Amino acid sequence: MDYKTIMCDVLVVGAGGAGCRAAIAASKHNLDVIMLSKELLGKAHTAMAEGGYNVSLGNVDPDDNPETHFKDTIVGGNYLNNQKLAEILVRDAPQRIFDLEDMGAVFDRTPEGKIAQRVFGKQSWRRTAYASDRTGSEIMVTLTEGIRKSSVRVFDEVFATKLLVTDGKIAGVCAVDLKYGDYLVFRAKAVVMATGGAGRIFSVTSNAQLDVGDGYGMAYEAGCEMIDMEMVQFHPTGMVKPESAKGRLVTEAVRGEGGILLNNEGERFMNRYYPEVMELAGRDQVARSIMTEVLEGRGSPDGGVYLSIAHLPRTIIEFRLESMIEQFEDAGVDIRDEPMLVSPTAHHFMGGIKIDEDSATNISGLYAAGECTGGVHGGNRLGGNALADTQVFGALSGENAAKYAKKNTHLGVDRDAIMSEFVNLEEMLKRKEGVSPADARDELTELMWNKVQIFRKEDEMQYAVKELRRIEKEVVPKIKVDVPVKRFNPGWHQAIEFAHMVTTARMVAEAAVMRKGSRGAHYRVDADPNEKGHYNIIIRKGKNGEMELRKEDLVITKITLP
């Protein structure tokens, strides 16, 4: 098994909003920085974000300030946030958006020429900065320009599969060049994880192909502590058809403009759940209402419900919801006349790798930022806080990784561990018999969607936990790629991802079982009414390789629990 070793000072794993920002920050310290991107540069999932970037600049509502932003974030997170991290988020968001502008970002303006801010879910003031309805794309395009200006070396379509740790300190990563199938080892003095979320462990998700939780898997295996893994945000409205579009977001603005939800009896069912606010109830409330209709048999044959704007004047639809007309044209639906088929969709992971106020993990030299981390958003995330998260903690982790790299040298790597990783990857191609990655993935995503979704129940989740342990022991070692080719083989890529998906799914399921009450995005139909739920669940790989869960006190600074 041949592999190439590549040296650098700081290695950033992931090239989305957080990864690019971290790489740019690190490169300002006269260090050699490499950024690994699983996809082509600029095509990370950050580009899909539509809503905006929350920042308390006060350009539209002068009474807004970081304290209010902080309070909204904590309330939104149902008090489970690490308040130290939330303080950093609201404190640094302003400077980070100015950084983006310095790099050339083009945000919408107020009449005075300042960054415009608009209203967005559950916030006290108008603080969401935006670039029409493509803020994520704007940020991603800007960061790409920034990366091209910097001295960062970008390795496109290189997939890191394992963290290398020596004596409790980071030494580098094992990786595969997806284009040619070459095995690579990157040795670095400091590493930043910016690997995004894991929506793809569910069969219906808004996430791009690459969001499979490989970062969660790698970090857990290396010995990182993970936090709040049970907290998964389900957006109420995703598309259902065509197949490739399943789970794609249908923006909240459709309901904002007057869209109504109907079941298969033509009933406007929100009337039974939240009659005062109807379709404009909170995201998780609408998601639960829709899911209840589906589970009780009043959904469409394909599993969703109907979102209709056909009663609105055509001109309104054509002016304000132009992109929706386009989006549904693909599905062969003219939304001016016909209802849209929508279903809740797995959208964001609030939990992830546990970080401290330096954006550092519990492994020396290993930092993390963005959706792959946990603690900033607590039990539920405010719309608009995720983009801010990528920039604030992206910059922080890059800075600190650089400082660490300046004070440390390269560590040796365990070459036996490296070999065994690559042998393991090679085995997936060589096995004579086994389970195809596609079948394995279908089984996993269906299991998670059916048993660990919006409505959680003890016996269903216990079943999932049991099944996942079985899959980990019996299916993962048997994954067999159909065609034994290494050069750009999507089947092999999916096989490599599978183990990480299982690890991530296990963490979600087991943490969900442990939390007996409902809190944040975690909703139990059999919730223990006596449980207050004022703790975070930490997951760590034990000495004997078992997944260990424990409860930890919340990190509180300013806001005490009600």
**Which is closer to another protein, CB of 3 or CB of 274?**
3
Report the nearest approach of another protein to the CB of residue 379 (Å).
Answer: 27
Instruction: Please report which helix (H) or strand (E) contains residue 306, including its range.
Output: strand 305-308
**Count of beta carbons in the 10 Å neighbourhood of residue 219:** 30
Confirm if 6 and 381 have CB atoms less than 8 A apart. Answer: no
* 199 vs 48: CA distance, rounded Å: 14
Active site residues: 235, 255
* 161 vs 513: CA distance, rounded Å: 28
**Which is closer to another protein, CB of 179 or CB of 415?**
179
Question: Which residues make Cβ contacts (< 8 Å) with residue 380, sequence separation at least 6?
Answer: 76, 77, 78, 231, 233, 284, 350, 520, 521
**Which is closer to another protein, CB of 51 or CB of 379?**
51
**Which is closer to another protein, CB of 156 or CB of 426?**
156
Report the nearest approach of another protein to the CB of residue 317 (Å).
Answer: 19
**Which is closer to another protein, CB of 101 or CB of 357?**
101
3-class DSSP state of 412: coil
CA distances from 164 to 2, 410, 473 (A): 17, 12, 23
Residues that bind another protein (CB under 8 A): 39-45, 47-48, 57, 59, 98, 101-104, 106, 108-109, 111-115, 131-132, 134, 137-138, 141, 145-146, 148-149, 156, 179-180, 208-210, 241-245, 248-249, 327, 330-333, 436-438, 481-483, 485, 487-492, 494
**Which is closer to another protein, CB of 108 or CB of 257?**
108
**Which is closer to another protein, CB of 114 or CB of 298?**
114
* 116 vs 131: CA distance, rounded Å: 9
Report the nearest approach of another protein to the CB of residue 337 (Å).
Answer: 15
Picking from 516, 368, 377, 494, the residue whose alpha carbon sits closest to that of residue 442 is 494
Report the nearest approach of another protein to the CB of residue 347 (Å).
Answer: 14
Picking from 5, 2, 12, the residue whose alpha carbon sits closest to that of residue 400 is 12
- DSSP code for 303: S
DSSP string covering 522-535 = B-BTT--TT----S
CA distances from 270 to 280, 339, 347, 421, 495 (A): 9, 16, 22, 51, 42
Confirm if 501 and 441 have CB atoms less than 8 A apart. Answer: yes
Report the nearest approach of another protein to the CB of residue 249 (Å).
Answer: 8
What is the strand order of the sheet 190-193 is part of? 153-155, 33-36, 10-13, 190-193, 366-368
Report the nearest approach of another protein to the CB of residue 84 (Å).
Answer: 26
Instruction: Please report which helix (H) or strand (E) contains residue 89, including its range.
Output: helix 83-102
* 547 vs 224: CA distance, rounded Å: 12
